[in-house]
Structures are given as C-alpha cells and as structure tokens.
C-alpha cells in the first residue's frame, strides 16, 4: 500500500474520508464551467488510505493539515481516532469492492 498523503510505502494504514484543500479562482468560470466542476470533483471527500504518521498530523482540532505540497481535510467520520486500521489484505478487499461498484472484476477469469 502507499500513503495517499505522503506517498510512503506502508504495511498498515488508516482508511479515512479525506479531501485535498484547494482554492478556486472565480476568474476561471462560474458554477457550470469545466474548471469549477473539476474543482468540485477534486475537493470531494473520498476514501483514502494514509499512514499513521499522516493520520496523527491531520487528526487535529480542525481536521486540516499540510503534508508535503498539499493540504488535506479529514472528514468528521474519520476524526478523533475513529478511522479504521487496515492491513494489505483488507486494502485489497476494499479495492475489490470499490471496483465491483464500477463493474470491474479485479479477480479476473477463473
């Protein structure tokens, strides 16, 4: 597995609802513009796996922290130590379930 926030290789992770914090320049367009739609997509909370060190940094009183060149915001459901700890096997199962939602079979033909 790889930490979404710092890109380090990890054997255990926290599965969290996370988003990147970005500012939108209104000169790029209004609510129907491709730029704003992309901005909304980029800043939507999504499931991610992060290392314990990054989790400890982001799981603070406001749920926001800069790691590397990005700032991250941790959703309330993942704060205050509530994020699940997963290992490689649970991560693979999570990926398989998410792929199935998209109609993708990660196990391939038998």
**Is residue 107 assigned to a domain?**
no
- Output the pTM of the full model: 0.85
Instruction: Assign 8 a pLDDT band (cuts: 50, 70, 90).
Output: very high
Entry field: residues in the chain: 110
**Ramachandran assignment for 68, one of left (phi > 0), alpha (psi -120 to 50 degrees), beta (any other):** left
Residue where the block lists tokens 């909304």: 40
Report how far residue 53's alpha carbon sits from residue 14's, in angstroms, rounded to the nearest whole number.
Answer: 10
Give mean pLDDT, residues 81-88. 96
Closest alpha carbon to 88 in 16, 11, 17, 7: 11
Residue 36 lies in a domain: yes
Instruction: State which residues form the domain around 59.
Output: 12-101
* pLDDT tens, position by position, 37-49: 999 999 999 999 9
The answer to whether residue 29 scores a pLDDT higher than 60 is yes
List all residues 6 or more positions away from 65 whose beta carbon is below 8 Å from its beta carbon.
57, 58, 71, 72
Does residue 76 sit within a domain?
Answer: yes
Q: Does residue 4 lie in a domain region?
A: no
The answer as to whether 77 is a domain residue is yes
Number of separate domains in the chain: 1
**Domain membership flag for residue 97:** yes
Q: Flag whether 3 is in a domain.
A: no
């Amino acid at each position: 597995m790889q930490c979404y926030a710092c890109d380090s290789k990890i054997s255990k992770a926290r599965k969290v609802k996370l988003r990147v914090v970005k500012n939108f320049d209104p000169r790029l367009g209004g609510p129907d513009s491709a730029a704003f739609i992309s901005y909304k997509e980029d800043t939507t909370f999504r499931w991610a796996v992060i290392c314990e060190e990054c989790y400890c940094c982001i799981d603070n009183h406001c749920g926001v922290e800069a790691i590397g060149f990005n700032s991250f915001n941790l959703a309330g459901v993942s704060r205050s130590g509530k994020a699940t700890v997963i290992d490689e096997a649970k991560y693979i199962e999570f990926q398989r379930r998410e792929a199935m939602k998209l109609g993708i079979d990660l196990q391939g033909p038998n």
